[in-house]
Amino acid sequence: MKKIVNYLCAPRLRVNSLSWRNGNNKILDDVSFSLFPGEVLCLLGDSGCGKTSLLRVLSGLDKQDLGEIYINEEPISSGKINMPPESRPISLIFQDYALFPHMTVYQNIAYGLKDLSKQQKRLKIDKVLTDLGLIQYSDKYPHELSGGEQQRVALARATAPEPIILLMDEPFSGLDRSLREYIREETISVLRNSESAIILVTHDPEEAMLMGDRIALMKDGKIIQIGSNDELIFQPVNDYTVSTFSNVNTYKTRIQSKKAQTPFGEFSVTNIDEGNEVKVLIRDQAFNLTEPSKKNCYIVKQIDFTGENTRIQLSPIDSEDIVKITVPGIPSVKINDNIGLTVDERFVHIF
């Protein structure tokens, strides 16, 4: 269950017009967003889009060229200020966990705890180990642990100092699927009970949907769109957002009488001028199966059951065009069957 985040309060982290070049390459380009107390914000995008670089700049490992970073509305990095990484109330979990191989689990977690007595440190570490089911591994070394156990140790080390902000760089990508889902659920349960504001980097749209209160979709160093799951699905700002979260069938046409004509009928358009060429994107889950008719008939060419859904490729009865759809469960259709299609207009997007 996702936490209710108060977006009316002051942000825990505020990033204003952040830009950074590495040599001649622009890595971050005018990035701005806010992160609120208790929120999980997922940074989503393809490899090389700037996700990890943004975490490095936020944590102080790299310095931006332009822009400002504020924590609790106090500047920590700008043209005049650059708080060093060790002074920032930020914890960072790397993709490879970065545990110290020569230290035990207990020593790895203790490393980040400063200004505590030996007894206070012991109580805090025992609590976080117990919460994460690691108490029996306290005296073991990282090489003696499984990948999932190492991930939980990295989480324990990052959360033990009770950071204001927790940055996580694809922490589940090295785990196999079943373990990844288990550890992900366990991790988000722990994080939901903390007061930290969290940024999670991922390239997996499903993971972003499951874990994020909001998603920031990145491309070429920019945040293309930021919002809730519903906003990115039903109110996409461009075709990149649409195609990130589903397969699409794309058609080019021109606006005539405030409508876009497609093989599946006309769709109303109110914000694009008459005569302009547009792209109509229809998500694969927009289609529903119905009885065929003379004007609505498709031949089933391929059927692939994926476990929860079925992907079907079809061709109109009078052409070789391919239409790709996804329907829940196992439909009662076979190769070469004739079927009809209807379209849920909520999943039709015109740009």
SS (H, E, C) 120-160: HHHHHHHHHHHHCCCHHHCCCCHHHCCHHHHHHHHHHHHHC
pLDDT in the model for residue 177: 80
DSSP E strands in 236-284: the ranges are: 248-256, 259-262, 265-268, 277-283
Number of C-beta neighbours around residue 59 at 10 A: 17
Which tokens sit at 141?
């070394």
Does a structural domain hold residue 167? Answer: yes
For residue range 286-334, what is the model confidence (pLDDT) as tens digits? 999 999 999 999 999 999 999 889 999 999 998 889 999 999 999 999 9
Nearest to 201 by CA among 76, 334, 57: 57
Does a structural domain hold residue 188? Answer: yes
Clarify whether residues 62 and 202 are in a common domain.
Answer: yes
Question: Domain range for residue 162?
Answer: 13-242
Does a structural domain hold residue 1? Answer: no
**CA gap 43, 45 in Å, rounded:** 7
Clarify whether residues 232 and 250 are in a common domain.
Answer: no
pLDDT in the model for residue 195: 74
Sheet with 13-22, strands from edge to edge, namely 25-35, 13-22, 66-71, 74-77
Clarify whether residues 80 and 178 are in a common domain.
Answer: yes
Clarify whether residues 193 and 274 are in a common domain.
Answer: no
**CA gap 43, 250 in Å, rounded:** 26
Does a structural domain hold residue 50? Answer: yes
**Torsion sign over Cα 118, 120, 123, 124:** negative
Does a structural domain hold residue 2? Answer: no
**CA gap 314, 302 in Å, rounded:** 7
Among 205, 226, 242, where does a domain finish?
A: 242
pLDDT in the model for residue 1: 57
Clarify whether residues 219 and 262 are in a common domain.
Answer: no
Nearest to 244 by CA among 261, 260, 224: 224
Radius of gyration of the chain (CA): 24
Clarify whether residues 180 and 276 are in a common domain.
Answer: no
Q: Is the pLDDT of residue 192 over 80?
A: no
Clarify whether residues 235 and 266 are in a common domain.
Answer: no
pLDDT in the model for residue 109: 94
Q: Give the burial class of 135: count Cβ atoms within 10 A of its Cβ; 0-12 exposed, 13-18 middle, 19 or more buried.
A: middle
3-state DSSP assignment of residue 48: coil
Clarify whether residues 154 and 302 are in a common domain.
Answer: no
**Torsion sign over Cα 297, 300, 304, 307:** positive
Does a structural domain hold residue 93? Answer: yes
Task: Identify the CATH number of the domain in which residue 51 sits.
Answer: 3.40.50.300
Task: Give yes or no for a contact between 192 and 184, defined as CB atoms under 8 angstroms apart.
Answer: no
Among 227, 242, 257, where does a domain finish?
A: 242
Mean of pLDDT over the chain: 92
Domain count, the chain: 2
User: pTM of this prediction?
Assistant: 0.90
Clarify whether residues 139 and 215 are in a common domain.
Answer: yes
Q: What is the mean pLDDT of residues 197-221?
A: 95
**CA gap 272, 258 in Å, rounded:** 8
**CA gap 179, 21 in Å, rounded:** 37
pLDDT in the model for residue 57: 97
**CA gap 253, 281 in Å, rounded:** 11
**CA gap 202, 150 in Å, rounded:** 19
Predicted confidence band of residue 181 (pLDDT cuts 50, 70, 90):
confident
Does a structural domain hold residue 8? Answer: no
Clarify whether residues 188 and 218 are in a common domain.
Answer: yes
pLDDT in the model for residue 8: 85
For residue range 88-119, what is the model confidence (pLDDT) as tens digits? 999 988 877 789 999 999 999 998 888 888 89
For residue range 60-71, what is the model confidence (pLDDT) as tens digits? 999 999 999 999
**CA gap 43, 107 in Å, rounded:** 31
Among 188, 212, 242, where does a domain finish?
A: 242
Clarify whether residues 77 and 149 are in a common domain.
Answer: yes
Lookup result for tokens 């180990």:
129
Task: Identify the CATH number of the domain in which residue 341 sits.
Answer: 2.40.50.140
pLDDT in the model for residue 6: 83
* pLDDT more than 90, % of the chain: 74
Does a structural domain hold residue 4? Answer: no
Predicted confidence band of residue 42 (pLDDT cuts 50, 70, 90):
very high
Clarify whether residues 146 and 197 are in a common domain.
Answer: yes
Q: How far is CA 25 from CA 57, 75, 115, 190, 191, in A?
A: 15, 26, 41, 38, 35
Q: Is 314 left (phi over 0), alpha (psi -120 to 50) or beta?
A: beta
